[in-house]
Structure 1
Amino acid sequence: MTTQETSRADGRPVYVAAAVCAIGALLFGYDTGVISGALLYLKGPLGIADNAFMQGVVTSALLVGAMVGALLGGSLAARLGRRPMTLVVAVVFAVGSLAAALTPDVTTLVVARFVIGLGVGLTSVVVPMYLSEISPTRIRGTLSSLYQFSISVGLLLSYSVNYLLSPWGAWRWMLGLAVIPAVALFVGMLFMPETPRWLASHNRTEQARRVLRRTHRPEEIEQAQAEISAAERQSREQAGWRDLTSPWIRPALKIGLGLAVLQQFVGINTVMYYAPTTLTELGMGNSASIAAQVGIGVIGMLATLVAVRYTDRLGRKRLLLAGSVGMSVSLTVLGVLTLFVGASGTAIGVITIVCLTAYISSFGATWGPVVWVMLPELYPLRIRGPAEGLATWSNWASNFLVSLVFPVLLVGVGQAVSMLLLAVFCVVSFFFVHSFVPETTGRSLENLEEEVTTSNPRSPSRGS
């Protein structure tokens, strides 16, 4: 083994590959969060200051694009590869961000936001898949958690950019600065490897072995080689969308769809969106509300570090259960307090801040990152693309549904009852995880696949 090969054999290049690919998740977070500040300044020049419907269309166009991107991402990643699709993601983000920044009218902006949404949807499928498949088993949870951490960094970056550029109302710069990380992602991924599992499943075994030698420690190579052999066998059994109805995949599909939907139904996006408004109603003022949004971004980012450090130590299932408890308690206390005491007064304000902090921390350390860690782990390689695409689409569809229903719910029954209803979904999430979700920590993707496919006698991977 040469000196260069020895330096790579310690597995350090895998951290570089994961960090570069995770820039896609940073773009996801930035483009999702930046519109909240940019909208304040673009609605006047674009003539929608008095048109709440069009403001909603500008915001929700990203969600629609994300649903389409999620459906396309799985199949395209299976066919073209994880690395080429990440390069496509970078181009889509760059084009969409430039179009948004240079938009002459609101129609062009809506189209640009839809294109950015395509990038977000593709990212939510391809990046977790790449991180999971490029990582050795011992650190798969840690590296896969970089996805949610990078989203949190992107959100915090967008809030900070909005705050810094707000004195000038520079909404075009707010939207256009996303081009910088998009270019960084494209250039970086040019030098990153394809995942060994995708290479092996497409009969490119020698290339897969070279990637393993770069990304795994010497003592991990033998196990990884066995996994490659399993992937080679699976390459003869590639499945598509029609196979998602097969009985053998239903248990994994049920778990994946349940996790993806519940991640939205526990209410994180609605709570994040209405947190600054809630604090304003407590008498903290607009400036404090803007600062609170940055503070919320910091809390979410720091909480995600818990998952980065402990996902492989404590286990995915244990973290999900703990997160469900934390979210249930904090939302219940907040709802009961608002219902019986009201939403005014210094003491109530302090308790509200504590509850919001506890809720966002509970989600950021558990359900936020862990669901994206587990989705690629649940599905066999030959059907991972379509299955993960469907689960991710259901996540975005649930996001869209909640964003439509929650404002109506808020007006109809009030904030207190709305918080308590979200708390009910948090309780449901606890029992769903306890009853159906397996522990995936410390197990190879192929080992998990064997458990899923052999749990049904009609599985195609059983020997004849």
Structure 2
Amino acid sequence: MQNQTDLAVNTAAPPSGSRRLGVIAVIATFGGLLFGYDTGVINGALAPLRAQLGLTTFTEGLVTSILLVGAAIGAAIGGQLSDRFGRRHNILLLAIVFALGTLGCVLAPHWGVLAVFRFVLGLAVGGASATVPVYLAEIAPVERRGSLVTRNELAIVSGQFAAFAINALIYSIWGTTVMVGGVEVYQHPNIWRWMLVIAVLPAFALFFGMLRMPESPRWLFEHGREDEALAVLRQVRSPERAQSEIDEVRELVQEEREHKIVRWSALNVGWMRRLILVGIGIAMIQQLTGINSVMYYGTALLEKAGFAADVAIVANTANGIIAVVGCLFGMSIMNRVNRRTMLLAGFIGTTAAHVLIGLSAKLVPDGASYKPVLIMIFVVLFVFIMQATAGPLAWLMLSEMFPLRFRGFAYGISGFMGWMTNFLVTLFFPSLIAGVGIANTYFIFAGLGVAAMVFIVKMVPETRGKTLERIEEDMIAGHYR
């Protein structure tokens, strides 16, 4: 098996190959953009939705969180479909599901239909979360894998920011309310439909763009299409390096086939079982930071902190801006800092931010004019640290650490558990805020952050600077560091 020193030779792709790799990354990450927009748009759409469709507290929570149930199922199924039919094929299918789910939500006559199509959107969101990072990891050269795969996280937070900004813009133009019979109603009650319909555009871009993109070379090789795999690698590598990678993949694929392990039976193999459990843990601790409580309920959280409703929806765009800035910062250092070190530092930072949010909510008097501003500052700090570290790192490490033959399957299981954790946090966050207050809610997140640090130190492997094949070889040998 080729070592890391060997891989230092011919690392530069020809200029045309670098451009081609860049185009592939841009097109594929439209899936991440859709992921971000569809999860973030509900943040500002809830108020007009509540007014027009008569949402109760229960149906509001259901409409918000049912997407996450769909995402959990979509991640589990999508991972297996991408193993069977191909990463590119799966992304094309997901683009269609994104478009259909969006149009169904936009045309929904009542909350029940909206919930059904939010679930459909969730299938696409989960499928994209399990497929796009794997596709990018399998086509990227080792020295650029970190920055290329985390472009998907950049696309996710950019999609969320776009949703926040578009919501605020639409709200400022058509969000006027009037009193009718003593009840406040929107002059333009369908504004939430305009907020949602924007997502059709990137769905079309993803579908038509992926028609011209290649399949993952590692998936092609695993399915006996060696010549096609080599041809794809030659689009984004020098000829010598493309052949070298194919030789390395061939050796490992032959070794995998000798073990004759298939999907669920992988759980009977000690090193695979440990790896899948670690993957599940990484996916869960990312969600237990509470990041999506901010991205989904940020406007409501800021109102609870003391901002007026019209100020809160505009102020919430700061979370979107800072998420993008944080992700860009993380990408700039991703290839220079070990994954475990960066992940641990991120959880130290997010846990400290949780404590600061909690102390601000608990110790500053409710009547103080600066209290909501102080809470907002620490929430924004939390979002920055999270999106600069654990946000992109979780998806990146999951795309790197699993064997080729089971990559989609294992990623799908991890993604399923991550999305179910996201669902539970989203479902109970409003109740926690209402029941124990902002301070105690964020103290709970801080306690979970301490537990996550222990998990990272004891269980999480290092994956930076290694080919996907070298990572697998290390896992088999039990070298987790």
TM-score, normalisation: structure 2 = 0.89
CA distance in 2, matches of 1:343, 1:245: 55
Q: CA offsets per residue over residues 174-220 of structure 1, 9 Å max, x none?
A: 21221110010000000001111000001100100011111124563
SS of alignment partner, residue 431 of structure 1: helix
SS of alignment partner, residue 284 of structure 1: coil
Find the counterpart in structure 1 of residue 154 from structure 2.
149
Q: Does 1:29 align with 2:36?
A: yes
CA distance in 2, matches of 1:140, 1:336: 39
- C-alpha displacement at 1:340, in angstroms? 3.1
Find the counterpart in structure 2 of residue 353 from structure 1.
376
TM-score, normalisation: structure 1 = 0.92
CA distance in 2, matches of 1:249, 1:11: 34
**Partner residue of 2:402 out of 360, 379, 382:** 379
Q: CA offsets per residue over residues 400-433 of structure 1, 9 Å max, x none?
A: 1112333333333222111111011112222221
CA distance in 2, matches of 1:266, 1:32: 17
Find the counterpart in structure 1 of residue 420 from structure 2.
397
**Partner residue of 2:237 out of 204, 216, 223:** 216
Question: Cα gap change, 1:416/1:251 in structure 2, threshold over 3 Å: closer, same or farther?
Answer: same
Contact kept? 1:202, 1:235, Cα under 8 Å? no
CA distance in 2, matches of 1:39, 1:232: 49
Contact kept? 1:75, 1:385, Cα under 8 Å? yes
Question: Cα gap change, 1:42/1:405 in structure 2, threshold over 3 Å: closer, same or farther?
Answer: closer
Q: Does 1:173 align with 2:178?
A: no
Q: Does 1:206 align with 2:227?
A: yes
SS of alignment partner, residue 114 of structure 1: helix
Find the counterpart in structure 2 of residue 301 from structure 1.
324
Q: CA offsets per residue over residues 231-259 of structure 1, 9 Å max, x none?
A: 54257346212323432302211211111
More moved, 337-346 vs 11-20? 337-346
**Partner residue of 1:437 out of 448, 460, 463:** 460
Find the counterpart in structure 1 of residue 289 from structure 2.
266
- C-alpha displacement at 1:230, in angstroms? 2.9
* Long gaps (5+) in structure 2: 1-12, 175-187
Find the counterpart in structure 2 of residue 312 from structure 1.
335
Indicate the RMSD between aligned Cα atoms, in angstroms.
2.0
Question: Cα gap change, 1:382/1:325 in structure 2, threshold over 3 Å: closer, same or farther?
Answer: same
Question: Cα gap change, 1:35/1:272 in structure 2, threshold over 3 Å: closer, same or farther?
Answer: closer
Letter in 2 for 1:416: A
CA distance in 2, matches of 1:105, 1:277: 23
Find the counterpart in structure 2 of residue 459 from structure 1.
none
Letter in 1 for 2:251: A
Question: Cα gap change, 1:413/1:125 in structure 2, threshold over 3 Å: closer, same or farther?
Answer: same
CA distance in 1, matches of 2:50, 2:304: 24
Question: Cα gap change, 1:97/1:231 in structure 2, threshold over 3 Å: closer, same or farther?
Answer: farther
More moved, 224-233 vs 158-167? 224-233
* Long gaps (5+) in structure 1: 1-5, 457-464
Find the counterpart in structure 1 of residue 358 from structure 2.
335
- C-alpha displacement at 1:282, in angstroms? 4.6
Q: Does 1:242 align with 2:256?
A: no
Find the counterpart in structure 2 of residue 109 from structure 1.
114
Find the counterpart in structure 2 of residue 326 from structure 1.
349
Question: Cα gap change, 1:215/1:59 in structure 2, threshold over 3 Å: closer, same or farther?
Answer: same
Find the counterpart in structure 1 of residue 7 from structure 2.
none
SS of alignment partner, residue 79 of structure 2: helix
Question: Cα gap change, 1:278/1:83 in structure 2, threshold over 3 Å: closer, same or farther?
Answer: closer
CA distance in 1, matches of 2:285, 2:356: 21
CA distance in 2, matches of 1:40, 1:230: 57
